[in-house]
Homo-oligomer: A and B are copies of this chain.
């Protein structure tokens, strides 16, 4: 077991809430860029395997309590009817919800394609004291 205190590296006037939103930002940025370009088909089993793989991976990161990734099957084109008939994951094709707890602060944040912004928005849905 590592013995550490990473907190000494942080600006001392940072609140726990500020630290918690920083931590969850890291996770969303990581998840998004790990999954971009990953090959996928519309097959339910393929989708679920990829979802579970990235959920397990991001759950290893600091302060993560849960990760829920949805690859949006109706946005995936390609069911392997031919060799080239498959798709790639990008920001239009996923929804994710990540929950972290840093000290007494719990944060829930999301990645979601917002059609009117034409943008895969990362946003904080809830922040609360436990």
On whether the beta carbons of A14 and B55 are closer than 8 Å, the reply is no
On whether the beta carbons of A45 and B37 are closer than 8 Å, the reply is no
Give the number of times this chain occurs in the complex, counting copies.
4
Beyond A2-B118, A9-B121, A51-B53: 13 further Cβ-contacts under 8 Å?
A2-B85, A4-B119, A10-B125, A14-B127, A15-B17, A21-B21, A29-B32, A30-B33, A39-B60, A49-B55, A52-B53, A53-B56, A88-B91
On whether the beta carbons of A56 and B60 are closer than 8 Å, the reply is no
Residues of B with C-beta under 8 A to A36: 36-37, 88
User: How many A residues touch B, CB cutoff 8 Å?
Assistant: 75
Partner of A21, one of B22, B57, B125: B22
> How would residues 52 to 70 of chain A score, 1 for a CB under 8 Å from any chain B CB and 0 otherwise?
1111111111110000000
On whether the beta carbons of A6 and B119 are closer than 8 Å, the reply is yes
- What are 20 A-to-B residue pairs whose CB atoms are below 8 Å? A2-B81, A2-B118, A4-B119, A10-B124, A18-B21, A21-B21, A21-B22, A22-B109, A22-B122, A25-B28, A26-B26, A28-B29, A30-B32, A32-B37, A39-B57, A40-B60, A45-B56, A50-B53, A60-B86, A84-B117
